[in-house]
Structure 1
């Protein structure tokens, strides 16, 4: 990773790359989109590999077919149906950038903004961004702070905070794509996945929730016990939910009794021995199985990023929440503080 490849001026703001490290892990972050560029970890034999997909330069991030690599997602993660929601008798129109829907904050969402570097150390970086009233159609001036912290327990702790001067929906996440065998090492369908969820959110063919959270029991969505990601993908032609998502691209309703941080998911790569655990204060997690990768992007390893060679674990409130009466609200009011935390913990299985 050459720092000079990340030195740029975008929208009049300075962009760079910043490195965090502990005894085992080296992590790289750019303030363009607040992206995790790289996460280098050892396997069971001590061999280091970069387990986050990404690119070697800012230019490649800007030109990539897949725009969300490693980024902070906002103002609202996931989809909003037809780019529209109502709040306090006002109807807000958002840009359509995913079929007929609004996705991940729109084309100039937080992933395509230059964040300010508030502080940096060997183990932590704090980024801030002020999203102006009306940006991508959203109401209110929203001040956002995101901290990445790399701990001695081999954890990446992501802390999100936000405040607003008008009521507005807020649902932040990180969109790192992982392959625990290393970027470009092949399919993730042999990774073993566990998700702490008795229910998942059913979607239509445009990936908008139908309003129902269905039981995972006796479905391909039952990851309550460890199972290969690809174990049930042969049911895609017959299972309507797999068909709608083109595989796994669904919100899982985490088993939680309160908003405290709880286990959400565990992923193991049997070949390398790497294990990733996810803990979150959020009520849901979007498991995405790399269904839209088509080999059109070339990653840091000089290998094409192919179909189902990466996965994302996006901790979140539920998709299309402003339009779904049965889902918990994501509306932030003046005087309140949006605050949530997610932890990715890495170890050897």
Structure 2
């Protein structure tokens, strides 16, 4: 296995637009840092902060059409919550994002049993996955803009997955406020990998209410229907004429309570959309566009991945209190998780998630903020 290379200045944080500061100390005494990236000045600045715990996007401050900047990512300052009910908030999840049915998969004739998370699946890599670990972080001098690179070593057998895996996630904030997330990983044995970011968004500002009036567009003609375990079953289903059709901009809440069999069990959206084919050269292309009509804030999501999981925080129950002091209830945010399809290791008809020695896992997602000047208010 060729290790993910390390930079020469792991403790540097003197690059323009980059700041590091202590954030919290975990119950076992491990310190957590927060790295802040800034692009632009004054009212037009875009500011992103990332925690070493989970390599998690903690805040993303965006201006509205009046220049008022607000954080649009659901987040908490409570370290206990970040290891509990808010464990996935903004985090890099893996080794395998989303669900693996039966907590098992077969690779090259060998069955691998994974650490279960309940309900007949392994979710987001299993208990104590990447979201619960403190990553190493350093300024990335090789990436344009203000950039920080987070690295993690996952040993052979971690959560039941074969092969030692070295992972790097780079957050880079460009001068125009575009936030790019690059994922890289290498292994010493054949394994499966699926990484994503699990941020919950509310473009009106975290803690301001629900996202049901946000307008969503998805560049997808099909989705993967699921069973009671939220595991894909059967072939792709077309979205046309269903509550899953976001081919043109539509309110998230417009049909979220329809009496549709795929919505009854989940109480909202928690499904994977099959994106239209991505460019063969690996250039990120659009997957989604989210718009909040009052503030005018928009966020375009581009990715190299074949799918996007949309979760509308259906199960939120007020257990997590946000940075602004508001308890997050149902539909407080929306997650747009660019990814491979759930349970792909058990679905040979899906795009492969197998990574072999000598190859490199590469994935890129871009968050491009903007302002719609025809907004209300």
TM-score range, shorter chain: over 0.9
The worse-fitting range, judged by mean Cα deviation, of 115-124 and 15-24 is 115-124
> Which residue in the other structure is 1:34 paired with?
55
Residues 21 and 35 in structure 2, CA contact (< 8 A), matched pair in contact too: no
Residues 6 and 58 in structure 1, CA contact (< 8 A), matched pair in contact too: no
Matches of 2:150 and 2:311, distance apart in 1? 26
> Which residue in the other structure is 1:272 paired with?
295
> Which residue in the other structure is 1:6 paired with?
23
Which one of 268, 276, 296 corresponds to residue 247 of structure 1? 268
Which one of 110, 113, 116 corresponds to residue 96 of structure 1? 116
> Which residue in the other structure is 2:39 paired with?
22
Matches of 1:177 and 1:239, distance apart in 2? 24
Structure 2 CA distance for partners of 1:4 and 1:124, relative to 1, 3 Å: closer
> Which residue in the other structure is 1:151 paired with?
174
Matches of 1:4 and 1:257, distance apart in 2? 38
Matches of 2:39 and 2:293, distance apart in 1? 24
SS of residue in 1 equivalent to 2:350: coil
Which one of 120, 133, 139 corresponds to residue 113 of structure 1? 133
Residues 193 and 228 in structure 1, CA contact (< 8 A), matched pair in contact too: yes
Residues 256 and 283 in structure 1, CA contact (< 8 A), matched pair in contact too: yes
Residues 33 and 110 in structure 1, CA contact (< 8 A), matched pair in contact too: yes
> Which residue in the other structure is 1:282 paired with?
305
Matches of 2:198 and 2:305, distance apart in 1? 15
Q: What stretches of structure 1 of length at least 5 have no aligned partner?
A: none
Which one of 325, 344, 347 corresponds to residue 321 of structure 1? 344
Matches of 1:152 and 1:8, distance apart in 2? 32
- Deviation at 1:244? 3.2
Is 1:210–2:233 an aligned residue pair? yes
Deviation readout 1:267-306 (Å, 9 max, x if unpaired): 0000111000000000110011111111111010110011
- Deviation at 1:15? 2.1
Residues 5 and 57 in structure 1, CA contact (< 8 A), matched pair in contact too: no
Matches of 1:155 and 1:119, distance apart in 2? 18
Residues 101 and 120 in structure 2, CA contact (< 8 A), matched pair in contact too: yes
- Deviation at 1:118? 3.2
Q: What stretches of structure 2 of length at least 5 have no aligned partner?
A: 1-19, 373-377
> Which residue in the other structure is 1:222 paired with?
245
Compute the TM-score of the two structures, normalised by the length of structure 1: 0.95
Which one of 209, 213, 218 corresponds to residue 195 of structure 1? 218
Aligned residues: 345
Which one of 68, 73, 95 corresponds to residue 75 of structure 1? 95
- Deviation at 1:57? 4.2
SS of residue in 2 equivalent to 1:251: strand
Matches of 2:214 and 2:140, distance apart in 1? 34
Matches of 2:21 and 2:364, distance apart in 1? 32
Compute the TM-score of the two structures, normalised by the length of structure 2: 0.88
Matches of 1:98 and 1:233, distance apart in 2? 26
> Which residue in the other structure is 2:195 paired with?
172
Residues 256 and 262 in structure 1, CA contact (< 8 A), matched pair in contact too: no
Residues 278 and 306 in structure 2, CA contact (< 8 A), matched pair in contact too: no
Matches of 1:140 and 1:317, distance apart in 2? 20
Matches of 2:146 and 2:80, distance apart in 1? 26
Is 1:346–2:369 an aligned residue pair? yes
